[in-house]
Each structure stands twice: as structure tokens, then as C-alpha cells.
Amino acid sequence: MATSAMKAPKGAIHEALKAVKIAVVGTGNVGSSTAYGLLLGGLAAEIVLVDINKPRAEGEAMDLSHASPFSHATRVRAGGYQDCAGASVVVIAAGINQKPGQSRMDLVHANVAIFKTIIPEIVRYAPDTILLVATNPVDILTYVTWKLSGFPTHRVIGSGTALDTARFRFEIGRYYGVNPESVHADIIGEHGDTELPVWSLSSISGMHLPDYCRHAGIQYDQKALTTCFTNTKNAAYEIIKRKGWTNYGVATALTRIVETILRDEDTLLPVSMVGKFAGVEGVALSVPCKVTRLGVFHTFTLKLSPEEESELRMSAESLKLVLKQVEPHLTQGLGL
């Protein structure tokens, strides 16, 4: 865990960003949108795009470079794995995308095979970086990335339920007619079908939802709130059904996670990391974790209701079952 002696002075962080390199591996819709968010945020001096389709990476780099005069003096270029060297963060968005009618878990075997080729190459050239995984199923691939990289758990982060939590707060805010920034409500567990809302700790401006309703003269309607969660859980399916993919929401979540790391914010975010959750050890899933310049740290345990604790355990156990199928394949062909 980070200590004050290990942290850079906050006043020095802005200057430090001028020397930062970020690599994005995979320049499809999510990777390119993330690079765009990083550019607009002025979070790096250099952004390197890596893709097996080199012309695609070159085209995205050219297009993004033409946006830099309107935003920040960031160098954007295409490169290979060797160009990940010196990157503070490597965002991994490579892999097969979810198609209409598919669950995230349908992508497991194809994307594990892809990660077996790319993770060792990234680690070879960037042994000190922080790895940020976006590819689905993100919790499984966060674990796979940790296993293949040999990194400590705090340097492997999955985007997890950061986006689900944003969607959840948007839905609750829309229902109550308040700005989502005033809503504090988390989605935890798997980024997928077994995720769960933490109703017992959800609040608006510090008031639990039933208390808020009472003070605002609004009837508390759990059925309507359950619809908010259903809309959250099904959001990706609905978006993919209409446009074929999701990109802006997850790219913004990834940009926010990178910003939190580079600015050493100590922000609590629901991101995926490897650990022990609800008594289930050796899985990656999301609970609020502290994100710092050193990586991600599980610094406290949520006080969940018995029902929520049980649901979190079920989510962890469902991921563990998938990992039991994946684990035997991780060392094949790697000389490990």
C-alpha cells in the first residue's frame, strides 16, 4: 500500500505528466476511443498505438495527431510491442468483440488465446508498467493477465464494474431527477451477468435512498429501483443490439482510471483486481479499491447485507468455475 513518503507531491504531478508515455494495445473501437480520451485529457506526452493490424494503428495515430493542435501537444504514433518500453500504463483493448446475442463469457477461449501472445510481449519490453485490461470477459482476462505477466496483483487492473457503476448512477439519477454526481451507488462483483448492486449502501447526498425519499416527499419504490439495475446490467446488450459495439462509456472509464493512476489521486473506484472476495480466493472481480500511482489496492471490506454477501460469493464462485477451465491452458506454449 502507498505511503505518504512514497508519493510524489501533488504540485509536481502536472509537470510529471509532460514526460508520461501511455501505450494502447488494440486499436479497435474501444482502444481508439480511449486514445482519444487520453489525448483530450492531456494525460501524456506520448501515446503509442499497437495493433496486429499495423495500417489500422497507423491510420488511427494519424487521425489523432490531427486533433492534437486543438487539444494538447501530445505525440501520437503507431508502434510495436517494443514501443511499450517506458510506458507508465499499458491499456489492453485487444481481442474479439462481443456480438449481438453473445454474453461476455462467450469470448473466453478466443481472447485467452490472444492474451497468451500479447501479454508476454508487453511484459518483455515494459516490466515496470501498470497493466489496465479492458477486453471482455474482463475479470477472467484480468486474472489471466496477472498470471501470464508475473506482476504483483497491484499492477494488474481490470476496468471491472467502473462503467456499470456509472451506468447505475445515471439510471438512479434519471429516476430521481438529480445529477448522477450526487448519487453514490456501486455495482460490484463480475462485470457481467452475476454483478450486483449494493443497495444497502446506496445514497443521494449522504442519505440512504429510503431516507432521501422520505425527506424529498417521494415514495420509495424498490420495484422502480430494480428496473434501474436491470437497465444497468442489460445496457451493453441493448447498445450492441443497436450499434454493434460499445466504446464511449468504457473508453471514458478507462481514461478516468489512467488519470487516477497518473495523478496519484487515491481515488476509490470499483475496478477488478485479483484477490479473495466473500471467502473465494484466487479470482478477479470488482469492489471499491484505492487507485494510486503504484496501482490498485484493496484497502477495506464493504459492510454488505447478508443477501449482498451471498450474491457476491455466488459471483466470485461463478468466475472461479470459468478459471478452472482456463487455468490449464495458460502455460501451454509459453515455456512456463
Is residue 228 within 8 A of residue 176, CB to CB? The reply is: no
Cα–Cα distance measured from residue 142 to residue 250, given in angstroms and rounded to the nearest whole number:
16
DSSP code, position 330 = T
- The order of strands in the sheet holding 46-50 is 75-78, 46-50, 21-25, 89-92, 130-133, 156-158, 267-277, 280-292, 295-297
Q: Is 111 annotated as a binding residue?
A: yes
The CA-atom distances, in angstroms, between 288 and each of 217, 296, 303 are: 31, 10, 12
Is residue 158 within 8 A of residue 141, CB to CB? The reply is: yes
Q: Is 42 annotated as a binding residue?
A: no
Cα–Cα distance measured from residue 147 to residue 161, given in angstroms and rounded to the nearest whole number:
21
DSSP alpha helices (H): ranges in the chain?
10-17, 29-41, 54-65, 108-125, 138-149, 162-176, 209-216, 222-233, 235-243, 248-262, 306-326
Catalytic residue among 72, 109, 184, 191: 191
Is residue 39 within 8 A of residue 67, CB to CB? The reply is: yes
Cα–Cα distance measured from residue 31 to residue 156, given in angstroms and rounded to the nearest whole number:
18
DSSP 140-156: HHHHHHHHHH---GGGE
User: Is 154 part of the annotated catalytic residue set?
Assistant: no
Q: Is 28 annotated as a binding residue?
A: yes
DSSP code, position 88 = S
Q: Is 27 annotated as a binding residue?
A: yes
Cα–Cα distance measured from residue 71 to residue 5, given in angstroms and rounded to the nearest whole number:
34
| Torsions phi, psi for 269 (to 5 deg) | -130, 145
Q: Which are the catalytic amino acids?
A: 191
Binding-site members for NAD(+) are 26-31, 51, 111
